[in-house]
Amino acid sequence: MTDGTRGELFSEERSADVVSASFDGTPDPRLREVMGSLVRHLHAFVKDVELTEDEWNAAIGFLTATGHKCDDVRQEFVLLSDVLGVSMLVETINHRAKGVGTESTVLGPFHVVESPPRPLGADISLDGRGEACLVTGRVTGPGGEPVAGATVDVWQADADGFYDVQKPGEVPRANLRGLFTTDTEGTFWFRTIVPRHYPIPDDGPVGALLEATGRHPYRPAHIHFIVRAPGYAPVTTHVFAADSAYLDSDAVFGVKPSLVREFAVVEDPARAAELGLPDRFRTVDFEIVLLSA
């Protein structure tokens, strides 16, 4: 215990100091810092709103229900962090792009299964439902050098706005997921379908919170990426479709202007035949710049 608070009893006025001081003996300095700050902010919040006992009970009930909603494929706590903007803040603080690298955004709750390795050009739409789309891109380092052998992990919602794990038994396993490796030029490409905007799962406590606060649960259409290469800092990001609804009101605050791209319409039967796509398809190009590790 530190001076000034030794033996001090709890009082409304000094509650944050008294409780914070109880952590002063924490051996790990970072844990001590985090707990002290957490206590100060939590007490300030309770005092600010003068939390009632009913509200405290409701909060405990809410967190309990949030835990109960979690299982192997449903992560309600991540959703809660997402809708409070905390996921986005942590991601942004920890992966500042410094004006050079591709900006990061939320991981989201659906990266729950390993994406299967697939050869460049593979079609990740295993059921073929939706508007065909060619995704191309290149991974470079901060100096523009191509990054060969980078892994590009992608996953996305289907044409109805669902991930494969939300439709077990209905869609093939690992539908719309793939793990690609860039070629010697740092390029990657694959075939897929245009993702649809979708609601985050809103049948649980987080959905009830959105409902009670008049917020919608939608995310604009996007494809998820995690790009990794030895010697570089990995990036977790999305490419957003420029024509999607909800670009300006993403329920999880994930949109950054630098990540929005046109999914252009291509009507070129010769090119389509070459790619094994229908005559009319869409295409998006997404360059990814990694920072040095």
List residues near Fe ion by CB under 5 A: 108
Is the Cβ of residue 21 or residue 239 nearer to Fe ion in the bound state?
A: 239
Residue at shortest CB range from Fe ion: 108
Minimal distance, residue 151 CB to Fe ion, in Å: 19
Rg (CA), the chain: 23
The least distance separating Fe ion from the CB of residue 159, rounded to whole angstroms, comes to 14
Element (H, E) at 44: helix 29-49
To Fe ion, the closest distance from the beta carbon of 186 in angstroms equals 25
Nearest CB to Fe ion, comparing residues 108 and 207: 108
Task: Between 108 and 217, name the residue whose CB sits nearer to Fe ion.
Answer: 108
The Cα angle at residue 268 between residues 184 and 139, in degrees rounded to 5? 20
Please, what is the minimum distance in Å from the beta carbon of residue 222 to Fe ion?
Answer: 6
Q: With residue 264 as reference, give the H or E element that holds it.
A: strand 264-267
Matching residue, tokens 């494809």: 223
Closest distance of CB 110 from Fe ion, Å: 6
- 146: which strand partners? 140
Cβ proximity to Fe ion: between 108 and 137 the closer is 108
Question: C-beta of 157: minimal distance to Fe ion in Å?
Answer: 6
| Residue keyed to tokens 């290149």 | 138
Distance of CA 280 to the CA centre of its chain: 31
Beta bridge partners of 76: none
Give the total residue count for the chain.
293
Structure tokens at 264: 């252009």
- Please identify, using beta-carbon distances, which residue of 191 and 222 lies nearer to Fe ion: 222
Nearer to Fe ion among residue 124 and residue 275 (C-beta): 124
* Cα–chain center distance at 157: 13
